Structure 1
């Protein structure tokens, strides 16, 4: 067989592409920015509404009147507030406080149905419509908004909830220019800058508020979250200690927030003990538990936890994309990969995220799944300066380079990866092997195989070396690989590949591109096969060696 005949007979491509997104998950550990306190009776709304329709609220307000139908201490207090708010002489500031309380404790439906709004009806109902995703009512109230502080603050809150952070900042700054004593608005602005990944700016704005209110739970927590993003978990934990020190029985609502964020700051330590009870208390708890499962390679558990979540924020869309991509690659599901690609495209193509780092990573992931690697490199190059030392980024970056045939650059990038777990992954080993071979470094490819030892993937890597070395004219390493394959699977046609590679070595010797001494290593490879053709080939090689005075011993 001529040396080039095997090219059309070898197995198909043995290198697979793997979008590496499970481990770092875009650095998406999600600190909770809100106060960790949810209503202990999340379904109390119906009970309160039932009481409204069945109790004569014109009678004196006494505990015995309300405890029986409601049956819950918190609901009793809320119901008292409701009745007071309906009285004609009720001060509108009390109504506002009552609204904030029931909104905070998720009694939104009862609030919008029964409270008698006064001059600030629009500013109260506006966020409620957003909470219920009632776009029709939302637009109706939007048209009624006036250029007064209350209405503008409500509009800013809607922008924040819809991830329109710059629009919210513009409103808050405009109000601050007119009302310098509205210090709390600095916290809102800082929250928006945090969401925009401007952590240093967030710190500067937040410092203005902390100078006046140094014990603010929300502000101290946000400061810790900024430190986590700017520095590391230890720095964040040190900041959170200030919040722990001031937390007492009167700050019980902060305890769950602290426990949650400590898990994040400590890289997931204690996640299984802390996060499950907080899933319905802190919205980020579910997402962080999903991230924990992904890091443990428990993709199925991560999928179970997130599959029914309807994403509303970029982080939720990204995480659902990551989980579906990981599951699709693990079980070979095109449907899951398609879903992942769509989620990534939604985030990366959105006006609010297209120019952010996560948005560009999403577009890179989208094109990676679509196998459009030129587009992948466009987006990865745009964020390269932020991730050039990160293994996950380099793994995807090198794969995209190699997929386009830029093997020299791909090899250099693969060798930057430090994590042992990734360096022992078959996808990494197979791509690095291919890069070595394409860069005429067959010996290094063979050494990679020898380091693998006996493993389920070693046979596939051996096939890759045999076929790629053959195609690239590195016949010596191809012959060694085919010889080993033949010993592992004697009934196969690997003899044909080995025969062609041995003939190829001889051709290179004749052309002066291979040392003549290599010929003596070819003979043992041929003799290991029981085939009538072996003796014929060996006789021809011996005759040439004798005529050209090449020692074979």
Structure 2
């Protein structure tokens, strides 16, 4: 948040109005245009005067200044670079050039130009920001010590706090300045932005309303309002706010255009991501992150990893996303190294002072313990935030798995059944855990139905093994026998016959104990006869003898 200057950073020459008064000429319109912040008009006027030969000494400087404030940094760069090549160039022009380089993202050139300028508060603020960009803590602290208790320097400090995710510290500075300068309405937008970053979207809206009452067509404020609507409501509500902005904009509207295009992709759930986001990577910081999220949602984990692997995270969201990508890649590849990296990223965010008590921070700690398979701790963190995620399928999927892993199968089943996403419901992890819950909750017939709905595949074979073994463990022998019977037909492994034999004898034992219907014996005998093992005849003879004695039709 570099402050716009009220005048160019050039000393020595008096302003144009004073010179023209000395010549006895009419007061120029330039000052009036600049006072109204009509920078397009100012450039048009200066270019006209230049064209008709009515050249002013500071025309190039004012054109650079106006272009800079219009956001046309390339044009400003051309003017300032041309000025620095003149023999009588005022050394203060270098700091203007440095600011232009900064806004173009040319940070190395910005530093080189800034160091050629005389020492000034503007130069120090710029070097302060550059030190942050270069992650040079030593230079950052050096520039910090040179800051004074004046509005511009304090605003610069607040912006660094903001970029380092110290949002409360930034809010404190902005509020302190606002107490003495109520006319600085734009600071309300900065405060609202900090509250947005702290997830206080309703508070952000209230603060933003103060500014929008006075400046209803502000691009930045309306964009932030749309982002709040996205968080509070949905993408359609957010898009409606941005439509108001684009409808009221003039055809030459350029400022914030890329930001709006980027945000529309997010509001529309990733629609047009591959067309719009790639050119904006490294232009808008969030573009890379949102493109990574798009790839993750498309299950293209490798592309997501390629895009984020070289990113050095500085903000919590970047650490979290790197953790998610590494976790997804680790699970897909069976890589313990990637899972370890993911666990470390999650732990770093979850234990940080700024994030430990936030919802994302607690989710990070639950993810960390999930990867460590410490499910009791997972539940501690998920229970603390579950009221915010009642209808969130991804949250419920993780929450139910943790419940089941701790043996809370009844609660786990309830949570699994809350999930609506077809993608999750067709995931083998979901099916296997739900089947286990059904079995442990004495509903093996429902687990068997899950198998019957599946197409024949390696996953259906694995589910059969789970049903066969889990049902056997909890003495649900009938469905264990059915599962072992199918497994035996699919694979001649003798272990499946042994499991089927034990399950069938178990069903017979349950019938004898009066805990299974006698009619079940007929199906058990059918299952046994489908096996060509020599032990079958002996087992069948005993069962039939008992059936005959007890008048059970088989």
Give the 3 Å change call, closer, same or farther, for CA 119–400 of structure 1 in structure 2: closer
- Which residue of 2 is the match for residue 345 of structure 1? 347
Is contact 1:85–1:95 with CA below 8 Å preserved after alignment? no
CA distance in 2 between counterparts of 1:511 and 1:185 reads: 79
Q: How does 1:146-545 map to 2 (within 5 A)?
A: 146-545=148-547
- Which residue of 2 is the match for residue 5 of structure 1? none
- Which residue of 1 is the match for residue 131 of structure 2? 129
Give the 3 Å change call, closer, same or farther, for CA 285–548 of structure 1 in structure 2: same
Shift of 1:144: 2.8
CA distance in 2 between counterparts of 1:537 and 1:305 reads: 63
Is contact 2:468–2:481 with CA below 8 Å preserved after alignment? yes
Shift of 1:124: 3.4
Is contact 1:157–1:168 with CA below 8 Å preserved after alignment? yes
Shift of 1:266: 0.6
CA distance in 1 between counterparts of 2:180 and 2:428 reads: 61
Shift of 1:250: 4.0
Shift of 1:471: 0.6
Instruction: Give the alignment's TM-score, normalised by structure 2.
Output: 0.83
Give the 3 Å change call, closer, same or farther, for CA 390–81 of structure 1 in structure 2: farther
Q: Which moved more, 1:519-528 or 1:238-247?
A: 238-247
Is contact 2:329–2:335 with CA below 8 Å preserved after alignment? yes
Give the 3 Å change call, closer, same or farther, for CA 336–83 of structure 1 in structure 2: same
Is contact 1:61–1:80 with CA below 8 Å preserved after alignment? no
Aligned positions, number:
484
3-state secondary structure, aligned to 1:227: helix
Q: How does 1:49-88 map to 2 (within 5 A)?
A: 75-80=77-82
Superposed CA offset, 1:487-538 (max 9, x none): 1112442111111111111111222211222111111111001111111111
1:103 aligns with 2:105: no
CA distance in 2 between counterparts of 1:102 and 1:206 reads: 30
Is contact 1:486–1:494 with CA below 8 Å preserved after alignment? yes
CA distance in 1 between counterparts of 2:493 and 2:320 reads: 48
Shift of 1:145: 2.6
CA distance in 2 between counterparts of 1:238 and 1:82 reads: 46
Is contact 2:94–2:116 with CA below 8 Å preserved after alignment? no
3-state secondary structure, aligned to 2:418: coil
- Which residue of 1 is the match for residue 34 of structure 2? none
Is contact 2:324–2:342 with CA below 8 Å preserved after alignment? yes
Question: Where in structure 2 are there 5+ consecutive unaligned residues?
Answer: 3-56, 61-73
Shift of 1:469: 0.4
CA distance in 1 between counterparts of 2:377 and 2:83 reads: 58
Shift of 1:73: 6.2
Shift of 1:166: 0.3
Is contact 2:98–2:114 with CA below 8 Å preserved after alignment? no
Q: Which moved more, 1:514-523 or 1:75-84?
A: 75-84
CA distance in 2 between counterparts of 1:96 and 1:109 reads: 9
3-state secondary structure, aligned to 1:346: helix
Give the 3 Å change call, closer, same or farther, for CA 61–76 of structure 1 in structure 2: farther
Q: Which has the higher contact order (CA 8 A, sep 6+)?
A: 1
3-state secondary structure, aligned to 1:251: coil
Is contact 2:280–2:287 with CA below 8 Å preserved after alignment? yes
3-state secondary structure, aligned to 1:516: coil
Superposed CA offset, 1:156-197 (max 9, x none): 111001000000000000010011111111111011011111
Is contact 1:449–1:461 with CA below 8 Å preserved after alignment? yes
Point out the structure with max Rg over C-alpha. 2
Q: Which moved more, 1:340-349 or 1:138-147?
A: 138-147
CA distance in 1 between counterparts of 2:178 and 2:136 reads: 30
CA distance in 1 between counterparts of 2:364 and 2:405 reads: 19
CA distance in 2 between counterparts of 1:507 and 1:231 reads: 58
CA distance in 1 between counterparts of 2:87 and 2:258 reads: 31
Shift of 1:121: 4.4
Shift of 1:370: 0.6
What is the aligned-residue RMSD (CA, Å)?
Answer: 2.3
CA distance in 2 between counterparts of 1:422 and 1:452 reads: 14
Shift of 1:422: 0.9
